[in-house]
Structure 1
Amino acid sequence: MSLTASIGQPISRLEGNLKVTGAAKYSGDYNVAGLLYGHVINSTITKGKIAQISTVKAKALPGVIQVFTHENRPSLAWFNQMYADMDAPPGSPFRPLYDGEIRYNGQPIGLVVAETFELARYAATLVEVLYENETFSTNLEENVADAHTPALGLATMLKPPPPKPTGDFETAFAESFAQVTADYSHGTEHHNPLELFATTTIYEGDGKLTIYDKTQGTVNSQLYVGNVFGLKYKDVRVISPFVGGAFGSGLRPQYQLFMSVMASLELKRSVRVTLDRSQMFTFGHRPPTLQSTRFGADKDGKITAMNHSAIAETSRFEDYTEVVVNWSHMLYPAPNTLMEYKLVNLDVYSPLDMRSPGGSTGLHAIESTMDELAYKLNIDPLQLRLINYSDRDESLDRPYSSKELKQCFLQGAEKFGWANRNPEPGSMRNGNKLIGHGMATGIWEANHLPAKAEMIITKEGKLKVNSAVTDIGTGTMTIMAQIAADEFGLSVEDVVFSYGDSKKPFAPIQGGSFTTSTVGSAIKAAGKALRKKLLKKAGLMDNSAFRGVPISEVIFDNGYIILKNDPEVSVSLRDIILANKGKEIKTNNLSVPNVFKLKKYSRAAHSAVFVEVEVDQELGVVNVTRALTVVAAGRIINPKTARSQILGGMVWSISKALREETIVDHGLGKYMNQNLGEYHIPVHADIHDLDVIFVEENDTIINELGTKGVGEIGLVGMPPAIANAIYHATGKRINQFPIHFDSLL
């Protein structure tokens, strides 16, 4: 227990100054003497074989060191392994340069290593490749007949299959008072973080490597390199202190890591490999998904029958899955349900988690269907959700650990002015602009994984905390320092949080909105152990008043241990260190969630989103003029960084609903807009009045901190709210994302 509180304070990011001044070093910024540069060669066909590959012209250039292809790559340990990283879906992971088979367009087929980046890039254009083409298929809609139930794998715990059917859906739907049947689709999306993917591998000699990698998990990249190249994990150090955005693209090691390490080990030199913008379209994406819903309700609006089906794309070599249809029954209890999720194997790279994977896809269909059902019943869309509100997760027959969604609805409706809208579609105008108001619900599971943290009281009485966790730009460094500071009643300035290094205590990949709960809980566990250790050391000091005093009877505050019942009696942490012969006192602790306790509850963050749009009546151009997201996510460690997360999700929602799409030419099997000029995302002029409210939610079950993540919840509910607002403005129900203006003409 402490008197000083950092948790709950809107502290600015501790590393912010380094980032805005350009002092922060990213994975492509580390230079060493004799550094070589690699440029990847990618296939220009979609499926087939490399009949011949000639590297003669490239190798003839002075300064070109080597050109690696499948014909001269080293024999590696991993070619007989099924899984090389902790985020791999069921199947056989893609292996760069394994053989001459081409499995997807843009597949890496070679690496030119040279003394300069420019030379490597130019030399790559001189490599001549002859292909044997084979018939391919990249069109999801044309192959739905081949859809299959996904294979189960290690990721099933975090990505459970759809719940089993309940009741008799077909009969209940046929007999329901009101029915809605709808189809939904969205195209391919690519992550496109600002920082390009780069790996700088420093060759230390004797098979030891120090690797600066763009990753969402230093330990995951370490495991990957160890598994692939047959190295001892202790000889592989992966460092990633700053990440310029990732959004899921760094959860799995990308092929530039493989190329950089392979070249470094073979040449016994330090090598950097950087992928350009177009190459960021050659691994991972949000998969195109087709959805259908059938919701039935009685005359009072109570849902009696619910069917949600989805068919998504995956590669030929892995069954990548998302949780798309499970959210329906989690949000709205119904006695008769049927949830289905299937995959189609196509000649593409495996999809990859992209912010709110599955949730932002599924909630589009669920919340738009609920909106359509509300209009069919002549019930206000907000009221329909309240009619179907439940504090239990009926899909798993258990209560929520906490759920303040109702407060999200009520506070959001009041702040937004929901009651003031005219419910009739097309009835609200501002000159030639049609005005629409839409709303939707959001949900995202609150998970908690095992992690370790090390805590050290230094000789100066300061607190040092170590974790391998990355900070992908969410403010992780800051909030972990806040959590640690509160364990000892210190100010954040007295805490040094060291992170982003695989040599530090274990942390899983950063994603899924579980990092605060996971690593924060490890810090809580380490703090508890270190407090006990310090109190015991204090009790051993000469004439100590703390001998035999239980931990519950003291307070840690401002660098002191203080007796609760006699605040005049205290001892400084610095004096305890002095009595310990000047040696630092530390502890290293593992935090493991209590699965037996947690499995009795469903755990989720919730949101209510309210959106206003303007639609130009003549041009069909849509503008989101204001939006409000109200979030219930347990205890908020830092309202400033948490608000930033929600705002970022809201901006992305505008992108998802109205802008963002990777265009595929199925005749070529190729993504055609592999650049930020043609891959459309919002700019400043597209973003207007966005607001965020956090409602108070006290969760004593989920973890000791009472936290839920906010990384995903800001994105899941707003895209359907935009679609619903467009319907209210125009009377047109557009169920395909992104919504192009020509659909509204």
Structure 2
Amino acid sequence: MDTAYIGKSRKRVDGVKKVTGSATYAGEFKPEGLVHGYVVNSTIANGKIVAIHTGKAKMIDGVLDIFTHENLPDDVRQNVDYTDPLSPPGHPFRPLYNDQVLYNGQPIALVVAESFELARYAAGLVEVEYLAEECTTDIKKNMGNATTEGVEDTAPDRGNAELSYANAAVKIDVEYSQPRHYHNPMEPHVSIAEWNAKTQSFKIYDKVQGVNSSQEYICGIFNLDTENVQILSPYVGGGFGSGLRPQYQLFLAAMAARELQRPVKVSLTRRQMFSFGHRPACIQQLQMGASKEGKLKSIIHKAYGETSKFEKYNETIVDWSGMMYQCDNVKLEYRLIPVNVYTPMDMRAPGGATGMFALECAMDELAIKANIDPLEFRLLNYADKDQNEDKPFSSKELRECYRQAASHFGWYNRHTKTQIKDDSILVGYGMATGCWEAMQQKSSAKAVLTSSGKLVVSSSTADIGTGTYTVMSQIAGDTLGIAMEEITFQLGDTSLPKAPIEGGSWTVSSVGSAVKAVCNHLKKQLIDLAKVNVDEDLDHVNYDEVSCTDGTLLFPNGTLINMSTLLLTAGLDSIEAENALEPEVRQEQYSSYAHSCVMVEVHVDKDLGMITVPRVTSAIAGGRIINPKTAESQILGAITWGIGMALEEEGMIDDRSGRIMNANLAEYHMAVHADVQQLNVLFVEEHDDIVNPLGAKGLGEIGIVGVASAIANAVFDASGKRVRNLPITLDKLLE
């Protein structure tokens, strides 16, 4: 049996459970005595609660209690650690903390009843009196309030960008904007909390992208040790960043469970999924200059992102402009505009999808103004090192991405003049570069090998649909030469070795590297056992000289030892190892990124302005690809989201009330099957022995970066209309 799994396509090990409905998600557990909570949300964006009338609701038979700021437990209110571990600078939001209303949709009450339907009905009977104050949610109207307070430093300026821009032969001065985007994973956020009064401990099922962050949050609120708080999240129906920070239903469920001495389930409705976090609206201004030959002379990039009035949420938006292309004169500026919304939060490729949209559109505009092919313009300004940090790249196969994408797409064979198809359809082509950080975080894993040949590997990481169960099993099987059918990978439980949140495209590089390391520890234990229990002549063999395949150890002299037999010979039922792995110090000497080239074809109805995207090619250099099948799925999903970002997604807020007007899946438009046609993914071979022990760079985010800009550039190519504010809707084309 071939047990070399890394680099090979494998079906998801949890696939059968998911398609048959036997995979149990956080909201599907049913502890005995379970009751249900329903959240009441504010209808104003700024002001205070004068009174909450709960009498009618409490009279309903089956309503157990209603929690508001008026009856919040004193120990919780007084606890200074009542925050979450991933909160940005400022004053983290505390549900039910006081009578202040900070944003429209803020949770202001929790109705707990014997059934969900009863709790929902009773919640409709709760009446709230407000003292409303003026609110503001439009960052365009509040540009004058932009601040650098609480803003992280951008990459340092270099050269003299203003003077170089003034002297440039070819230049552009443009502004781009994008609206708020909302995560909307298939599974809404939900928590089920059980409180054990005897042991003073919680057992909580939570929809989250990292159980350890929820554990730390609950421990801080209720002043408990980690041993007294177990968080479980075995399956997650998508997250995209919405599950990085613990959301308010977690606190409400835990608080109610402790007070009522009953297991409490709090699940959010689809409308309530719009009441916390989002990709922030952003305005970007770029001034770029080049020589007449097309060499970049100056880049001035300013960005204005929104944040709440109580926290300072930062994104890395402008730094990409100082790193992506060779340019000696760069000035970067990033400011925040506080408005009456909940704090934005990370959303797939945070900062990168935003900053690279503006940069790649501006590169297209400058290339066209210089009368240079957009691809050739990028190659002419190719960066061989990271000028922001003055470091070499650990690896960079972007040139090969350009070459393969162009060859597959037929870039150089395209018509550069506007084409018309069927007398009514304008055809256009566009391209963009993508880039995302390749990071590794400290992570831990445990492995247990039994004498029956079973291998159990565990880590408290998550699987948000990315294939974590599968690729970790592949890494373990490949390292120890054990068939995947004999491997069980466990995750989503705080009792397991600690792992970082699943985000940032670092799960494979972090947890995967820890899994590889712990399996190597087991291998060393097995070799030592063989030296003692089988053949003393093996004593001088180096560990690296022994290979593992099909459940056996193969020594350089040809000796083949079955692992199960070895354990039985040694009188052991099992062996185990556990370790924590941190990034190597040498990684700090390099910049590590995944890169891509995205090329698209768009069709524009010249009469109606409707846009379709019949063809996309994305060439990805993402280091070592562990599982091409699940990797391709990551990129396909990201491209689809990029189509939605370019053409459809727009969170609309009534500036008078701060109310989200399209907080539903009928009016918040996203890409659907009809929008997705021919998507082509190419993985460019890339070797990197610096980025992490696996050489993998992560693929969760790189796939979306550049897609929206490539589509915008193609729309211009087709129509001659440069739309700089997303989404590109037909009304903007027909203006």
What's the TM-score once normalised by structure 1's chain length? 0.97
- Equivalent residue for 1:335, pick from 322, 328, 333: 328
**1:172 aligned counterpart, secondary structure:** helix
In the alignment, the residues of structure 2 paired with residue 24 and residue 30 of structure 1 have an alpha-carbon distance, to the nearest angstrom, of 11
Distance 1:147 1:91 in 2: 16
Partner of 2:95: 96
Matched, 1:199 2:191: yes
State the shift of 1:575 in Å: 2.2
AA at the equivalent of 1:508 = P
Match of 1:403 in 2: 396
Map 1:137-156 to 2 at 5 A: 137-151=136-150
- Give the equivalent residue in structure 2 for 1:457: 449
User: What is the SS of the residue equivalent to 2:578?
Assistant: strand
Aligned residue in 1 for 2:287: 294
Structure 1: runs of 5 or more not aligned: 153-159
The one-character-per-residue Cα deviations of 1:393-420 (angstroms, maximum 9, x if unpaired) are: 1111111000000000011001101111
Could you tell me how far apart the structure 2 residues matched to 1:693 and 1:676 are?
32
Amino acid at match of 1:296: G
Shift of residue 546, structure 1, vs aligned partner: 3.1
Superposition CA RMSD, Å: 1.4
Structure 1 Cα separation of the partners of residues 15 and 73 of structure 2: 42
Alignment of 1:258-407 (within 5 A): 258-407=251-400
User: 2-side partners of 1:452 and 1:268: how far apart?
Assistant: 34
1:167-178 map, 5 Å:
167-178=159-170
**Cα distance in 2 for residues equivalent to 1:635 and 1:78:** 49
The one of 429, 443, 457 equivalent to 1:437 is 429
The 3-state SS of whatever aligns with 1:736 is coil
8 Å contact kept, 1:461–1:577: no
Q: Distance in 2 between matches of 1:91 and 1:79?
A: 18
SS in 2 for 1:199: strand
Aligned-residue offset at 1:127 = 1.2
Residues in 2 aligned to 1:396 and 1:91: alpha-carbon distance in whole angstroms:
28
- CA contact 2:190–2:249 (8 Å) conserved in 1: yes
The one of 480, 483, 490 aligned to 1:491: 483
- AA in 2 matched with 1:659: E
What's 2:468 paired with? 476
Q: Would you say how many aligned residue pairs link Structure 1 and Structure 2?
A: 733
* Equivalent residues of 2:405, 2:599 under 8 A apart: yes
Q: Which residue of 1 aligns with 2:564?
A: 574
The aligned counterpart of 2:692 is 703
Q: How far apart are residue 55 of structure 1 and its match?
A: 1.2
Label 1:399 to 1:493 Cα distance change in 2 as closer, same or farther (>3 A). Answer: same
Q: What displacement does 1:4 show?
A: 3.5
Amino acid in the other structure paired with 2:340: D
In structure 2, the partner of 1:250 is 243
The Cα shift of 1:212 comes to 0.8
C-alpha displacement of 1:428: 4.8
Distance in 2 (CA, whole Å) between partners of 1:620 and 1:184 is: 20
Match of 2:108 in 1: 109
Distance 1:664 1:468, change over 3 A: same
Change beyond 3 A, Cα 1:78–1:500: farther
In the TM superposition, 1:629-708 aligns within 5 A as 629-708=618-697
Aligned residue number for residue 56 of structure 2 = 57
CA contact (8 A) 2:323 2:383 kept: no
Contact 1:651 1:682 in 2 (8 A): yes
Structure 1 position 524, deviation (Å): 1.6
Q: Does 1:588 align with 2:578?
A: yes
- AA partner of residue 682 (structure 1): A
For residues 174 and 83 of structure 1, the distance between their equivalents in structure 2, rounded to whole angstroms, comes to 52
Shift of 1:134: 1.1
Deviates more, 1:400-409 or 1:82-91: 82-91
**Structure 1: which amino acid aligns with 2:501?**
I
Distance in 1, Cα, partners of 2:529 & 2:264: 48
Cα deviations by residue, 1:228-247 (Å, 9 ceiling, x for unpaired): 11112111111111111110
> 2: distance between equivalents of 1:427 and 1:29?
53
- 2:520 counterpart residue number: 528
In 1, Cα distance between the equivalents of 2:114 and 2:664?
A: 27
Compared with structure 1, are the counterparts of its residues 538 and 77 closer, same or farther at alpha carbon in structure 2 (3 Å cutoff)? Answer: farther
SS in 2 for 1:182: strand
Q: Is the 8 A contact 2:135 2:655 kept in 1?
A: no
Shift of 1:641: 0.4
* Cα shift at 1:3: 7.8
Q: Is the 1:6–1:491 contact (alpha carbons within 8 Å) kept by the matching residues of 2?
A: no
Number of the residue aligned with 1:555:
547
* 1:312-349: CA deviation from partner (whole Å, max 9, x where unpaired): 10011111011111111211121111010010111110
Residue identity opposite 2:602 in structure 1: V
Q: How big is each residue's C-alpha offset from its partner over 1:331-387, in whole Å with a ceiling of 9 and x where there is no partner?
A: 112111101001011111000101111111111100000000111010000000000
* Alignment partner, residue 156 of structure 1: none
The letter for the 1-side match of 2:37 is G
Q: 2:29 aligns to what SS in structure 1?
A: coil
Structure 1 SS opposite 2:429 = strand
Aligned counterpart, 1:67: 66
In structure 1, the residue corresponding to 2:345 is in which secondary structure? Answer: coil
SS of 2:28 mapped into structure 1: coil
- Does the CA contact (< 8 Å) of 2:65 and 2:111 recur in 1? yes
3-state SS, counterpart of residue 97 of structure 1: coil
2-structure distance, mates of 1:185, 1:524: 43
Which residue of the partner structure matches residue 155 of structure 1? Answer: none
1 CA distance for matches of 2:494 and 2:84? Answer: 14
What SS does structure 1 have at the residue aligned with 2:65? strand
Partner SS state of residue 306, structure 2: strand
Q: Give distance in 2, aligned partners of 1:580 and 1:140.
A: 69
Q: Answer whether contact 1:84 1:223 (CA < 8 A) is retained.
A: no
Measured after TM superposition, the shift of residue 83 of structure 1 is: 7.4
Structure 1 distance, partners of 2:393, 2:322, is 13
- Measure the CA separation in 1 of the matches of 2:628 and 2:120: 45
Tell me the secondary structure at the aligned position of residue 301 of structure 1: coil
- Alpha-carbon distance between aligned partners in 2 of 1:78 and 1:179, rounded to the nearest angstrom: 56
- Give, in whole Å, the separation in 1 of the partners of 2:216 and 2:318: 32
Matched, 1:626 2:618: no
**Deviation at residue 576 of structure 1 after TM alignment:** 2.6
When residues 172 and 264 of structure 1 are mapped into structure 2, their CA distance, relative to the original with a 3 A threshold, is same
Q: Is the 8 A contact 1:659 1:680 kept in 2?
A: yes
What amino acid sits opposite 2:68 in the alignment? T
Matching residue of 1:419? 412
1:446-467 Cα shifts (integer Å, max 9, x gaps): 0100000001111312211010
Q: Deviation at 1:79? A: 5.0
- Using the TM superposition, give the Cα deviation of residue 584 of structure 1 relative to its aligned residue in structure 2, in angstroms: 1.5
TM-score, structure 2 normalization: 0.98
Amino acid at match of 1:492: M
**Which of 591, 598, 614 lines up with 1:602 in the alignment?**
591
Counterpart Cα distance in 2 of 1:406 and 1:361: 23
Match of 2:705 in 1: 716
Q: Unaligned 5+ residue runs, structure 2?
A: none
Q: Distance in 1 between matches of 2:571 and 2:276?
A: 54
Letter in structure 1 aligned against 2:696: T
Q: Which residue type is aligned with residue 643 of structure 1? A: E
Residues in 1 aligned to 2:683 and 2:534: alpha-carbon distance in whole angstroms? 49
